[in-house]
Chain A
Amino acid sequence: AQTVTQSQPEMSVQEAETVTLSCTYDTSESDYYLFWYKQPPSRQMILVIRQEAYKQQNATENRFSVNFQKAAKSFSLKISDSQLGDAAMYFCAPTLRGAQKLVFGQGTRLTINP
């Protein structure tokens, strides 16, 4: 069974600074995908960034980047130059290549202080 742990229930950061959200997971598979989604209050789930496990290069998407450590089963999200609009719940979600479904962590609530 696959489990996902986000050890930081809440994080806060000053606007324009950098914050890192952690995620660890447990799987015996070698081929899978990993996603970070954000869910603003009362709004829908939005994809932030995606990583293929077979790729050694860490994914980046504008101000968002990941630190993927496959051996350690760690997949952290770094947000640079934080903006007020980044305030949301952030969920880490790996999926097995064959299993299709996303397995979500408990989430990290990110607050941006102006």
Chain B
Amino acid sequence: DTGVSQDPRHKITKRGQNVTFRCDPISEHNRLYWYRQTLGQGPEFLTYFQNEAQLEKSRLLSDRFSAERPKGSFSTLEIQRTEQGDSAMYLCASSLAAGGTQYFGPGTRLTVL
């Protein structure tokens, strides 16, 4: 049983650099979500895909952030010109249906120096 996987698990970068994260959802799940979690807080929604279509974006997702899911399978989240405030855990989740249980990956922890 393959769950949601994320790569890399940890990323340390310098302010101003670009970073890209990958998420592989559970294979039959057509819905994919990105969340951001800062220390001591609950996750906050960033964006959502149904198949390859990006259907909702949070206001948290500034123009430095972009997400894609080109073939309706894996997704990438890119952050351009990283800032120290971008330091967080980036979580990916997938689900089979609307209102269905979202299954989470292990997350990518980003540290911006």
Query: Interface on A for B, CB 8 Å cutoff?
Result: 4, 32-33, 35, 37, 43-47, 50, 52, 91, 93, 95, 97-107
Contact = CB atoms under 8 A, between A and B. Distances in A.
Interface of B: 31, 33, 35, 40-45, 48, 55-56, 91, 93, 98-99, 101-107
Contact of A100 (B40, B56, B106): B56
A55 to B, nearest CB: 12
A105 B37 CA distance: 12
Given A44-B107, A45-B91, A104 B42 contact: yes
Given A44-B105, A100-B56, 13 more contacts: A43-B106, A47-B101, A47-B103, A95-B99, A97-B99, A100-B31, A101-B56, A102-B35, A102-B45, A102-B102, A104-B42, A104-B44, A106-B42
Given A44-B104, A45-B104, A33 B99 contact: yes
B91 to A, nearest CB: 7
